[in-house]
């Protein structure tokens, strides 16, 4: 595996200035921009819709990693694909027909991702592993930035990395929630390829140094 992909989340940025937040992410040398779409139903919070992704897309050529925390992801993926998402990740807990939805996302030319909340066992993904480009293991219950990391979730990353190797698959593994300097190394050691980071990134004055540090943990 190469270096770890660092994906700052604009959820922790100033929402009155999101264009500037993406510019800060790009200037820091981070690899991806993580965009947290919340519908106020699957999670208590409402954030933004495809219009923001479309407008940010015009200002940036960075990889846009869209994380849909929505009760009806099937009704949203086409709009986010058209808006310029590069990957679209939905929650296993919100989808009934996950194979179909993953296939739809791939059919739109995007990386197809699936996410699980801390209470969902990784084994629930078993049948889907050959059909995904990205698996995101939530390390907090989604809904807010700045929550406390749940270390027990890393066992799922370890399990999924082992399954990937055993079955000769090549999806990417991502962790999201409460990732900061003091737990990122453990996440990388467990097998993650991607570190999503919201509050830790935006609270760090020297963002370029922070990204370098996170990227070089592998
Ligand atoms: C949580 C979101 C995360 C969050 C990460 O609901 O999906 O992407 O913004 O922020 P931190 O790193 O502050 O937990
Ligand atoms: Zn997220």
DSSP letter at 46 equals: B
Residue with tokens 């106020």: 40
Taking the whole predicted model, whether its pTM rises above 0.95 is answered as: yes
DSSP letter at 129 equals: G
By the CB criterion, residues less than 5 angstroms from ion ligand 2 are 36, 67, 176
Domain spans in the chain, listed from the N-terminal domain onward: 5-215
As a whole number of angstroms, the distance between CA 23 and CA 215 comes to: 19
Question: Is 64 within 8 Å of 48 (Cβ atoms)?
Answer: no
pLDDT range class, residue 212, cuts 50, 70, 90: very high
The values of phi and psi at residue 210, to 5°, are -60, -45
Tens of pLDDT along 45-102? 999 999 999 999 999 999 999 999 999 999 999 999 999 999 999 999 999 999 999 9
Catalytic residue list contains 36: yes
Tally of CA atoms within 13 A in the half-sphere of 4 that contains its CB:
28
Segment 202-216 mean pLDDT: 97
- For the Cβ of 143 lying below 6 angstroms from any atom of ligand 1, the answer is yes
Tens of pLDDT along 161-171? 999 999 999 99
pLDDT range class, residue 2, cuts 50, 70, 90: low
Say whether pLDDT at 111 is over 80: yes
Catalytic residue list contains 176: yes
Question: Is 179 within 8 Å of 154 (Cβ atoms)?
Answer: no
> What's the CATH class of domain 5-215?
alpha beta
The helix (run of H) or strand (run of E) holding residue 153 is none
């Amino acid at each position: 595996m190469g270096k770890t992909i660092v994906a700052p989340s604009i959820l922790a940025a100033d929402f009155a200035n999101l264009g500037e937040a993406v510019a800060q992410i790009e200037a820091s040398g981070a690899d991806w921009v993580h965009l947290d779409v919340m519908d106020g139903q699957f999670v208590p919070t409402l954030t933004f819709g495809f219009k923001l992704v479309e407008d940010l897309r015009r200002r940036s050529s960075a990889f846009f990693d869209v994380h849909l925390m929505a009760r009806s992801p099937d009704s949203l993926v086409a709009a986010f694909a058209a808006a310029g998402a590069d990957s679209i990740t939905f929650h296993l807990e919100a989808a009934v027909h996950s194979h179909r939805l993953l296939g739809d996302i791939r059919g739109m030319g995007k990386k197809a991702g699936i996410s699980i909340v801390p209470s969902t066992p990784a084994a629930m993904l078993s049948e889907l592993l050959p059909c995904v480009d990205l698996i995101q293991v939530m390390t907090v219950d989604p809904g807010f930035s700045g929550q406390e990391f749940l270390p027990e979730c890393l066992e799922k990353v370890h399990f999924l990395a082992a399954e990937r190797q055993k079955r000769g698959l090549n999806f990417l593994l991502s962790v999201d929630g409460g990732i900061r300097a003091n737990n990122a190394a453990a996440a990388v050691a467990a097998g993650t390829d991607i570190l999503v980071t919201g509050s830790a990134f935006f609270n760090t004055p020297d963002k370029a140094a922070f990204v370098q540090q996170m990227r070089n943990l592998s």
